Amino acid sequence: MLTLYFSPGACSMATHIGLEEAGANYEEKPTMLMKGEHKTEAYMKINPRAKVPALAVDGRVITENTAILTYLARQFPEKKLLPSDPVAEAQCISTMAWLSNTVHPSYGHYFKPDRYAETEAAQADVKQMGAKAFFANLKEIDSMLKGKQWIMGDQYTVADPYALVFYGWGVRGKFPVDELTAYTAWKDRMLARPAVRKILESEGSVLVKG
């Protein structure tokens, strides 16, 4: 039994799409960040770090998008959501690790500067630097996608739904994402995938709102 703990619009959307692409049978447990549901005693028993996503697999919990998406791709090999060549597989995992350890925190600096600095002036600085770093990271994703169908080339992999999270955050934060032509064209290819569209609609993503 697979149980997904997620919050609509959060980075857990990557794992949510991954489950759908894998064709997995899973139960959804919305854990709303805005309502602080990730900080309740019940949820802290699932993930003591109070973050989404978490995936319970027959009661054993996996956290971190990179680990969950790698697990799903291996668990549903017929869907070919990871490259089969070992180096390409490691490059795909490396891309997800970078999304997690660099791109995500850069948005965090922009979105929640109060977590990183105490005074208002310092927070304003953190916010500004975060915005710069985040947009530079989106530009890097754009150049990674130039001339490619998917992040890893011809093969759609679990790195794709992960990269979509940050395009959505770019739109939400009113960054000039339209300038990123390869990333924008790829986003449109992503939206044409039934699994992606289904999850974006169910989460009320800015990418599918009229």
User: Which residues contact ligand GSH (rule: CB under 6 A)?
Assistant: 10-11, 33, 38, 50-53, 64-65, 100, 104
Place of tokens 């759908």: 20
Place of tokens 């679990």: 158
Question: Measured from the CB atom, is 10 or 19 closer to ligand GSH?
Answer: 10
Identity of residue 41: E
Which of the 8 DSSP states describes residue 115?
G
Min separation Cβ 116 and ligand GSH, Å: 12
Place of tokens 């019940």: 42
Question: Measured from the CB atom, is 107 or 186 closer to ligand GSH?
Answer: 107
How far is it, in rounded angstroms, from Cα 146 to Cα 44? 41
Identify any residues that bridge with 2 across adjacent strands, giving them in sequence order. 26, 57
Longest dimension (CA), the chain: 52
The answer to whether 6 and 14 have CB atoms below 8 angstroms apart is no
Question: Measured from the CB atom, is 49 or 209 closer to ligand GSH?
Answer: 49
Question: Measured from the CB atom, is 64 or 160 closer to ligand GSH?
Answer: 64
The answer to whether 52 and 45 have CB atoms below 8 angstroms apart is no
Min separation Cβ 106 and ligand GSH, Å: 13
Question: Measured from the CB atom, is 16 or 104 closer to ligand GSH?
Answer: 104
The answer to whether 195 and 167 have CB atoms below 8 angstroms apart is no
**Which DSSP helix (H) or strand (E) runs through 61?**
strand 60-63
